[in-house]
Structure 1
Amino acid sequence: MPSTPAAGATAPERIRNFCIIAHIDHGKSTLADRMLQLTEVVDARQMRAQYLDRMDIERERGITIKSQAVRMPWRVREGGLSGEDSVLNMIDTPGHVDFTYEVSRSLAACEGAVLLVDAAQGIEAQTLANLYLALEDDLTIIPVLNKIDLPAAQPEKYAEELAHLIGCQPEDCLRVSGKTGEGVSHLLDEIVRQIPAPVGVADAPARAMIFDSVYDVYRGVVTYVRVIDGRIEARDRIKMMSTGAVHELLEIGVISPEPLKGKGLGVGEVGYLMTGVKDVRQSRVGDTVTINSRPATDALGGYKDPKPMVYSGLYPIDGSDYPDLRDALDKLKLNDAALSYEPETSAALGFGFRCGFLGLLHLEIIRERLEREFGLDLISTSPNVVYRVNLDGGGELTVTNPSEYPTGKVAEVFEPIVRATVLTPNDYVGAVMELCQGRRGSLQGMDYLSADRVELRYTLPLAEIIFDFFDQLKSRTKGYASLDYEPNGEQQADLVKVDILLHGEAVDAFSAIVHKDKAYNYGVGIAAKLRSLIPRQQFEVPIQAAIGSRVIARETIRAIRKDVLAKCYGGDITRKRKLLEKQKEGKKRMKMVGRVEVPQEAFIAALSTSDDGADQRGAGKK
């Protein structure tokens, strides 16, 4: 068994840094499992499926959410560099469009990428998106067809598709099976041969890029770095170049796949640093680490900050949990640089945070992690996108929450749009076009990747695809279409704010900004929903949907009525009328001073995104 080289004892020419990129469900994590077994870094007794998916939520859903780096020794079997151990630093990446930012950070730490394609499914939308990301970073691409053991596999057909896409020969596409292990050792040999070794200046001042970090309850912040220049040794005093903070290094090492303490990290190596710091803001992803005694003068390029595409409010059900929610978001932000948040107050829900996410699955995962890992009970408001509003009297406003929408005259409203790529069998082109045009989409182009697979390119308003667009796409194409999208600027739109009034008072949590054509449907739907959820009061309660002062929909919750005539048997009719008039006066008085209490359960049920078809679990999955 090849022994794992000690951290920091490896010459750069023997290191290969690579990641595995693919569409969802094309077998990245399973292939990573076989690599861990072949390189013998995981004992057979400890081995389990999806070994690098550490979170319970990843294992339950069968998707990768966090990239995981692991160091593996490998000795080439077939000529070449045989007789000498190479060190492979592999990063297993997510496939979902919401976690593209994780993929882009991983690519920046590598020199090459294994592009994995399912031999039974072929090229999908996210395959193309991840390939373009890798080409932007100028990485060496190794095309690989996975799942060749499946009865439905068509490796020859898809090798031609892949070769046409990358510009290589069909025979250059390697064929492997992550499940059986067939062809994986040959793939590891090719990684050593084809991917270039990292380049850096060994005697220059140390510079290392932070590409990920996690919070450990016992040991504080654990920072994952890729060393570009120089060397970092154990017990050095390190400096974060963006904040200027200086810390003593308590531990340094590599992940193989469990943490292995070492003496230092040199050029091209990937490993972890521990300083014992508890303040999560001291270790920013994209920052440059250097040594305090001999600091570097120029920081590394870092990463582009991701822009949130979807906003939603998160509120604790118990108001006293607000400080716990703030601490929990701080800790998650360290682990997920794409999350953004700021405090906000709602008249209906109390104190909470307005959070920005990259998509609905991202929102769902963050909420579930907050509830599981930190024991919080939360309400999330309906997701919405960011609008730019130009006012009549001049001036501009950015609206991330319907309650911020101006009440005065609005000159024009701009909404974010995305460039969407849909890959579908040609039998379903008509159904996909009909869906996209119904969502205010405009066709930008259409290409045949092969005789029976079509790529459609649309620009669509982001607000139209964050709810049930993906579910509709899957149902209309019998599950064969795949979707990828990226921001593409903004466009002017005819948008209005729909307010929901309970007993004449607006409830900010239920307000929404929607297209004028869909305002009536939204108003009718939410009013009917609230009528069934809010308990009856002592007086009649009108539920109204309004655009400004114009009511567009109404439902009424009937009053609870006491039978005041129960004791009045026989006698004159005027006696009964007197009692009924007295009751009516009492109801009228109560209606003037009464307040409608909306129970917490009604908020949770009315705001639950799953009822609106917004559950995008596994979007992009086949």
Structure 2
Amino acid sequence: MKNIRNFCIIAHIDHGKSTLADRLLEFTKTISDRDMQAQVLDDMDLEREKGITIKSHAIQMNYTAKNGEKYTFNLIDTPGHVDFSYEVSRALAACEGALLLVDAAQGIQAQTISNLYLALDNDLEIIPVINKIDMAGAMIEEVKDQIIELIGVKDEDILLASGKSGIGIEEILEAIVTRIPAPKGDPEAPLQALIFDSVFNSFRGIIAYFRVYNGTIKKGDKIQFVNTGEEYEADEVGILKLGLEPKNEVHTGDVGYIITGIKNAKEVKVGDTITKASNPCTEGIKGFQEVKPMVFAGIFPVVTEDFEELRDCMDKLQLNDASLTYELETSQALGFGFRCGFLGMLHMEIIQERLEREFNQTVITTVPNVGFIAYDTKDTTKQIIVNNPSEMPDPTKMSRIEEPWIRAQIITKPDYIGNIMTLCLGKRGLLLNQSYLTTTRVELMFELPLTEIVFDFYDKLKSQTRGYASFDYSPIGFRESDIVKMDILLNGDKVDALSALIHRSRAHDFGRKLCEKLKELLPRQQFLIAIQAAVGAKIVARENISAMRKDVTAKCYGGDISRKRKLLEKQKEGKKRMRQIGNVEVPQEAFLAVLKLDD
């Protein structure tokens, strides 16, 4: 056990975690030259295309140190985007140390600080590494000063490296040996292993990844899951190399996988504890905090018959992505589907993409919104959770409604302070604090309503600062607000899938934009279509799609005007009757258009 080291790599998005992991695997000859490729641990097509890590990936390396001893390293590569911070927190729970990576050209960013605090909460040993030191714009001394100020380490404790060219890789491996503590645990105690991830394999069932804290797990053992109380047999256990490598047993302090032939996704919970059925441990390991979804949206199959298939796909996807939450929902316009909770808009986009690619499910996503709390007029202590516009109580029966607020931390160059102020104050934000980290970096702290940052805040922030701002946020609770439900009516009929919960001051503007967008997207019919946005009984915006008309007077050449009028009146009556019984089909693009209103 004294020769095992469990560590992860944490950093802001794009600071070179995956590239550094590639070099570590190359240096320790974990991967042959033939199998080597960029982002080797990112096994999803999506991760390669977007150049980001979505899932944490664990892999075992063997390293012979300068003192001649052989060490086993368990590396977990983590995502850097704020939407996947739950993945990071789970990876940290399985480690004793972390490499904190900082880009030499960009310096410390918001997510760097956020991930650092997560690591410190887990009592991890931090090894600061400045990456990309061979770049033309590298500011090594400035970034060193930032790190010293942030963590309070000595100058000589900061390692310099380049993931691309392989500089400083051996120094990092030596630092892991000398600075990260070996795992603690008792090999003789009853088995305690924490499940930190799981995947679904269509041939072998569910594969759970775990970290052993006490005891040993052997192939063929009768095991038990503490939370569910279910018992299974360990058909196969092993360690994680580039693929799965079966072993007869996995020891204390090590990271491995287990296959028990479980097919039902509900039986395996990330954060659960594995123990032996014959000699169970007295209590489970304290897992992770419950995930709190930030953004809610409905996901519906395009064809209603595919609902059961979609339910199976959601179960399997939740196994692999524990931060996804969902419950059943029905809609008049779209039929049966799910109300899903996501950690952010990127997370929502990724889930939609994964459903299409991995499970061949084409889905319709409704307008995303955040969760509100409404209070009853009669019983003011009674809370009504509103995650969906259809759950919004009647305004006459509601004493008040509260919306979630967040504390946002933005780090940028001083040149862009004005742009950021304008953006945040325009989003109903409150400036808390402004402080200079160095002469060229300023930190701004805002309090903002979560509703305002859900749609396009991140994109606007990047465009208004030319990509030089980094953004991180944490929830700070609920505050009273003037939230209203806005309905979209087509010829007087509500389309519930296009309803949105929005602040009253924004309803008029949002309604107008949405009506204009729908006018472009809805196909013309033989009758007039009125598109209206309404708050309660008040119409705040309207657009008309004129009817396609046949020229019924074409055969009347010359003669009395009354002949033409008679034909036009007859056509008018027909159109009126058609409008009463005609249905307006809403194409799928219309539901997606709501997400891209400002484009």
TM more than 0.5? yes
Equivalent residue letter for 1:69: A
Q: Structure 1, unaligned stretches of length 5 or more?
A: 1-11, 614-622
**Aligned partners of 2:96 and 2:124 also within 8 Å:** yes
Q: Structure 2, unaligned stretches of length 5 or more?
A: none
Q: Which residue of 2 aligns with 1:616?
A: none
Over the aligned positions, Cα root-mean-square deviation in angstroms equals 1.3
**Aligned partners of 1:252 and 1:264 also within 8 Å:** yes
Q: Which residue of 2 aligns with 1:47?
A: 36
Residue 423 in structure 1 maps to residue 411 in structure 2: yes
Residue 315 in structure 1 maps to residue 304 in structure 2: no
1:74, CA displacement in angstroms?
Answer: 1.1
Q: Which residue of 2 aligns with 1:18?
A: 7
**Aligned partners of 1:106 and 1:211 also within 8 Å:** yes
Q: Which residue of 2 aligns with 1:266?
A: 251
1:538, CA displacement in angstroms?
Answer: 2.4
Spell out, residue by residue over 1:23-80, the C-alpha distance to the aligned partner (whole angstroms, 9 max, x if none): 0010100000011011111011111111100111111111001101111111222xxx
Q: Counterparts of 2:351 and 2:402 in 1: how far apart (Å)? A: 28
Residue 589 in structure 1 maps to residue 574 in structure 2: no
1:537, CA displacement in angstroms?
Answer: 2.2
Change in 2 beyond 3 A, CA 1:202/1:514: same
Q: Which residue of 2 aligns with 1:458?
A: 446
Q: Which residue of 2 aligns with 1:468?
A: 456
Q: Counterparts of 1:28 and 1:149 in 2: how far apart (Å)? A: 16
1:611, CA displacement in angstroms?
Answer: 4.5
1:391, CA displacement in angstroms?
Answer: 3.0
Spell out, residue by residue over 1:300-348, the C-alpha distance to the aligned partner (whole angstroms, 9 max, x if none): 1011111110001111111111111100000011111110111111111
1:474, CA displacement in angstroms?
Answer: 1.3
Number of equivalences: 596
1:612, CA displacement in angstroms?
Answer: 4.5
Q: Which residue of 1 aligns with 2:495?
A: 507
Q: Which residue of 1 aligns with 2:525?
A: 537
**Aligned partners of 1:502 and 1:596 also within 8 Å:** no
Spell out, residue by residue over 1:360-382, the C-alpha distance to the aligned partner (whole angstroms, 9 max, x if none): 11101111000001111111111
Identity rate, percent = 53
Equivalent residue letter for 2:162: S
**Aligned partners of 2:211 and 2:253 also within 8 Å:** yes
1:602, CA displacement in angstroms?
Answer: 4.7
Residue 480 in structure 1 maps to residue 468 in structure 2: yes
Residue 300 in structure 1 maps to residue 285 in structure 2: yes
Equivalent residue letter for 2:538: R
Q: Counterparts of 1:186 and 1:346 in 2: how far apart (Å)? A: 58
Residue 152 in structure 1 maps to residue 163 in structure 2: no
1:425, CA displacement in angstroms?
Answer: 0.8
1:171, CA displacement in angstroms?
Answer: 2.5
The higher-RCO structure (CA 8 Å, 6+ apart) is: 1
1:436, CA displacement in angstroms?
Answer: 0.8
Residue 547 in structure 1 maps to residue 532 in structure 2: no
TM-score (norm 2): 0.97
**Aligned partners of 1:495 and 1:514 also within 8 Å:** yes
Q: Counterparts of 1:375 and 1:145 in 2: how far apart (Å)? A: 41
Residue 357 in structure 1 maps to residue 342 in structure 2: yes
State how 1:176-575 maps to structure 2 within 5 Å. Answer: 176-394=161-379, 395-409=382-396, 410-575=398-563
1:214 partner SS: strand
Equivalent residue letter for 1:581: E
Equivalent residue letter for 1:255: L
Q: Counterparts of 2:558 and 2:279 in 1: how far apart (Å)? A: 103
1:13 partner SS: coil
**Aligned partners of 2:364 and 2:588 also within 8 Å:** no
Equivalent residue letter for 2:363: L
1:579, CA displacement in angstroms?
Answer: 2.4
1:490 partner SS: strand
**Aligned partners of 1:407 and 1:548 also within 8 Å:** no
Q: Counterparts of 1:281 and 1:25 in 2: how far apart (Å)? A: 34
Change in 2 beyond 3 A, CA 1:479/1:606: closer
Q: Counterparts of 1:413 and 1:601 in 2: how far apart (Å)? A: 31
1:576 partner SS: helix
Q: Counterparts of 2:266 and 2:496 in 1: how far apart (Å)? A: 32
Equivalent residue letter for 2:394: T
Residue 33 in structure 1 maps to residue 22 in structure 2: yes
